[in-house]
Amino acid sequence: MRREIGVIGAGSWGTTLANLLAEKGYSVTLWVFEPDLCETMRQKAENPVYLPGFKLSKNINPTTSLEKACLDKEVIVSVTPSHVVRGVISQTLPFLSDKMIVVSASKGIETDTLMSMSLVLKEVLPAKVHKNLVYLSGPSFAREVINKTPTAVCVASENMETAETVQRIFATSHFRVYASSDVTGLELGGALKNVIAIAAGASDGLGFGHNTRAALITRGLAEITRLGVRLGANPLTFSGLTGLGDLVLTCTSDLSRNRSVGLRLGRGMKLKKILDDMKMVAEGVKTAKAAYRIAEKLRIEMPITEQIYRLLYEDKPVGKVVDELMTRDLKCELESYNRDEF
């Protein structure tokens, strides 16, 4: 009997994961927010808004009904933008079962509550399903995955047995999945790399070279790790796929929405105009505000994140951002990451 899977969110990543699972032979019901897009996907087996040009598996059933997407499913994959996860998942509660596995593939931090997606889901979902929560992240652009470009990602859960079940469900010959128990590290790496990608894009927009980008990636990783360890993550996680891997991808590729935002800021465009022109969400814009507030609250030094926050929300000139980063007090490079030192 085929495993029944529901995917919530038909953006580029949600559609790609739905197609990956459907091509493995699973029966996938894909929840689409926009009725017109849903009808187009039914008729043409294509997502022309977020993934134009790619034919989708016949095993995908698009729907605008959360009930149809969730009821009697063995696995639910949540792939909505992070700022709507709480609202959407709250609507699914009447249709979820205690044994259902919930996989979160959303990357971000709630601005109002400063909660990661794992904390949001634990607050929204009943305690008896918490052991079935899994989080997926890693360096993976939707267009390359749907093109079957070899890709490696990671899934994390507090319950390794559940993580390994999800690992097997998603793994294919072109989509390699690793398992981890470090939910905090996986989530923070996936969320905060988007902030650093905005910085890398701004650097490129200003016409700086490879030296500058390498410095931003390296020091960006240092401050992500600094915050992650303070919040209980394993520092080694940040040298893996969901840390360094995702950071390098997002900071260097033309497919990166967050780098694109930074690129345009570096060229002098205003944030409102940039966001108005985008169809898809650049998670780093909202995450920069949340990360800045967390760092301020915990008194964690995150200079790149702070300057990107001021660039985005205080309209600080990008040239001044660079000057202040480069003329900070001189520091030692290496850190011990001993939590007792914070």
Q: Which of 199, 223, 189, 186 is nearest to 285 (CA)?
A: 199
Cβ-contact 34, 78 below 8 angstroms: no
Cβ-contact 93, 61 below 8 angstroms: no
CA atoms of 24 and 126, how far apart (whole Å): 30
What value does the CA radius of gyration of the chain take, rounded to a whole number of Å? Answer: 20
CA angle 159, 235, 140 (to 5 degrees): 70
DSSP assignments along 42-77, one per residue: HHHSEETTTEEEEEPPTTEEEES-HHHHHTT-SEEE
297 tagged catalytic: no
Q: What is the CA 77 to chain-centroid distance, rounded?
A: 13
CA atoms of 230 and 233, how far apart (whole Å): 7
In 10 A of CB 218, how many CB atoms?
Answer: 13
Considering the candidates 24, 193, 286, 289, report the single residue annotated as catalytic.
193
Instruction: Classify the phi-psi angles of 135: left when phi > 0, otherwise alpha if psi is within -120 to 50, otherwise beta.
Output: beta
CA atoms of 17 and 327, how far apart (whole Å): 44
Strand, coil or helix: what is 8? Answer: strand
Token representation of residue 8:
């919530």
What does DSSP assign to residue 9?
Answer: -
Active site residues: 193
